[in-house]
Amino acid sequence: MAVFEAMDVLWLALVKLANRFPGTNEHRRMLVLVDTISIEQTRFILQLSVVNDLLDLKPPLETILSDPHERLEADAAKKACDTLRQCRDADPRAALLALGELLKRIRNKRAHGFKTRSGPRDGEILAAARSILAALCSAALDSAKGRDA
């Protein structure tokens, strides 16, 4: 499956897993889901090289318009990147939530047509996001198995 399509499938899988948890909206259910992921799995995800790929993009996320209708939120993306860098070791949950914010931004850009199959930068961003989403889905499934047992 191409990276472009895999983003949708993995995002949907993560949302479906989150929908098994209590919460008044998708965001709150995602927060509960993140809280069920073990700290060891959280640290593992945060240390994936693809996380660094997103953090080390030149120019950074949310700084290049790919369409005249796109809205950039450079300050919010920078804040999430800074939190991720600063909290990786000291507060892994906060770092994972910041990573989740970045993934949601990437997913939304992809879903609204601002990421394409052909753009080399888009491919780099989507490939990193896909790998992180796959790791998150795996960790969420592991925590769900433990919860259902």
Cβ contact 81:55 at 8 Å = yes
Residue 76's H or E segment, with its range, is helix 74-87
- Is the bond into 60 cis (omega within 30 degrees of 0)? no
Residues in the chain: 149
Question: Which run of H or E residues covers position 52?
Answer: helix 49-55
Instruction: Measure Cα distances from 49 to 56, 89, 95, 128 in Å.
Output: 10, 15, 15, 9
Per the structure, the count of domains in the chain is 1
To the nearest whole percent, how much of the chain has pLDDT over 70? 91
**Residue 149, pLDDT score:** 46
**Taking all residues of the chain, what is their mean pLDDT, rounded to a whole number?**
88
Mean pLDDT on 41-61: 95
Of 62 and 117, more confident: 62
Question: In the prediction, which pLDDT does 50 show?
Answer: 97
Separation between Cα atoms, residue 102 and residue 109, nearest integer Å: 11
C-alpha angle with apex 101: 141 to 85, nearest 5 degrees?
A: 100
Is a pLDDT exceeding 60 seen at residue 148? no
Tens of pLDDT, residue by residue over 79-117, are 999 999 999 999 999 999 999 999 999 988 877 666 666
Residue 26 domain boundaries? 3-148
Per-residue pLDDT, averaged over 122-135, amounts to 91
Query: What's the pLDDT tens digit per position in 15-37?
Result: 999 998 888 998 899 999 999 99
